């Protein structure tokens, strides 16, 4: 099932995933590869990527709050996969994940909590 994210939702997703990648001050090859997959999946051009980076955290969180539950679950999965893309679960990346879930009113799927 393909989720049709709006452009604003795509930008919010890119913004929070980028915040996760940057949280530990290291960008790993696995994270770069996963990010490239997400960019292709969401059909985000390089120009749109730049627009996403200009989005404020407040706007990205407000956008995420308005997303449907299934889209929020998909985002939670994307964030979790980004965190584990480098084979290391970093505490700083987890802090961003927890904050986005709390502020974005995302119920974390049970399979991600285990």
Q: Is residue 12 scored above 60 in pLDDT?
A: yes
The model's pTM is 0.90
Domains of the chain, start order: 7-113 (1.10.3680.10)
Q: What angle do CA 5, 112, 98 make, to 5 degrees?
A: 75
Ranges of H-type helices in the chain:
7-23, 29-41, 46-54, 57-66, 69-84, 91-103, 110-113
Of residues 95, 110, 109, the one with CA closest to residue 23: 95
Name the average pLDDT for the chain. Answer: 90
Q: How far is CA 21 from the centre of its chain?
A: 9
pLDDT tens figures, 60-101 = 999 999 999 999 999 999 999 999 988 888 899 999 999 999
Alpha-carbon gap, residue 21 to 100, rounded angstroms = 14
Say which DSSP state 10 is in.
Answer: H
Alpha-carbon gap, residue 19 to 103, rounded angstroms = 14
């Amino acid at each position: 099932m393909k989720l049709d994210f709006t452009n604003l939702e795509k930008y919010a997703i890119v913004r929070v995933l980028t915040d996760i990648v940057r949280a530990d001050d290291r960008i790993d090859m696995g994270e770069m590869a996963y990010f490239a997959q997400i960019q292709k999946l969401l059909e985000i051009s390089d120009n749109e990527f730049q627009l996403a980076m200009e989005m404020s955290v407040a706007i990205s969180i407000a956008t995420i709050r308005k997303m449907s539950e299934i889209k929020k679950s998909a985002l939670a999965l994307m964030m979790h996969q980004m965190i584990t893309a480098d084979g290391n679960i970093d505490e700083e990346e987890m802090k961003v994940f927890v904050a986005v879930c709390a502020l974005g009113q995302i119920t974390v799927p049970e399979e991600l909590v285990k």
